[in-house]
Amino acid sequence: MVGVGEKKESALGRISIVSYYGQVLYDVMCRPEEVITDYRTPWSGIRPTDMVRAIPFECVQDQVQRIIEGRIVVGHMVFNDFHVLKMQHPKDLIRDTGLAPYAKVKAGFHPRQPTALRNLAEKLLGLRIQTGEHCSTEDAQATMAIYRLVEEEWEADLRVKTSKKKSKVLQPSPKKRPIFDLELPSLSDDQCSSDFSALNPNPLNCYPPLALKSCSSSSLLLEDEYWDDC
């Protein structure tokens, strides 16, 4: 990230997206909407010369949206990334290694303790990253490698939680009478022979089905080969 405006607020300067196994799918420099007042080079690794080949923010935002739509996004404190992207993503499609306890516990940290990505990478992967200027592709690859280590336990817990929520939604509310106890309207013989819907003013099969949002694997490659609109 870089700083923009008088207050040097965080803005997107570079973004990298990798596949499930760490293959770089998307890696571009981004030109923010506001004037850059702090390149934060010691941490971001971004320099003024990088902006010569940078892509406008609105174009990057559109491309990223098209890439991640319907897919699981894995990141470390990824809410910061979505904030500078000015985007939202379904909560059930986000796996944040900085917030979830799985990787932190496996590395020996307290589950609620804020833990830097470099510390998780060193403990779990034996890698030293972010020792100088940060590299966004390296950070993304390390985050995905950490996720793969705890993926089985993480996803199993999510399936259990989803199953419980589904069961809770399907159970009738105890404060309301079950639908088969509702008093039915009195009908004439003609109505009974031709209009069965009146016997069931709120039939069960009219309720919207409980559908879990399906998602593609985060290892899928980009479908678009070129970005002609930018």
Delimit the domains of the chain by residue range.
Answer: 2-157
Q: Answer yes or no: are the C-beta atoms of 41 and 47 closer than 8 Å.
A: yes
Question: Could you tell me which residue, 174 or 17, shows the higher pLDDT?
Answer: 17
Q: Which two tokens stand for residue 16?
A: 């990298």
Q: How confident is the model at residue 172 (pLDDT cuts 50, 70, 90)?
A: low
Q: What average pLDDT does the segment 165-176 reach?
A: 57
The whole-model pTM stands at 0.72
d(CA 222, CA 62): 14
Q: Would you state the pLDDT for residue 200?
A: 33
Nearest to 134 by CA among 220, 13, 11: 13
Contacts for 96-105 with beta carbons within 8 Å, 24 or more apart?
97/143, 97/146, 97/147, 100/154, 102/150, 102/153, 102/154, 103/146, 103/147, 103/149, 103/150
**Planar angle of CA 49, 54, 56, nearest 5 degrees:** 140
Q: Would you state the pLDDT for residue 168?
A: 64
Helices and strands per DSSP (H, E), number in the chain: 7, 8
Dihedral pair phi/psi, residue 55, rounded to 5° = -100, 140
Residue 211 has pLDDT above 80, yes or no: no
**Mean of all residue pLDDT scores within the chain:** 78
Which of 4-8, 51-55, 113-117, 190-194 has the weakest average pLDDT? 190-194
Fold observed for domain 2-157 = Nucleotidyltransferase; domain 5 (3.30.420)
Q: Would you state the pLDDT for residue 164?
A: 79
Question: Could you tell me which residue, 57 or 132, shows the higher pLDDT?
Answer: 57
Q: Which two tokens stand for residue 120?
A: 């998780």
Residue 155 has pLDDT above 90, yes or no: yes
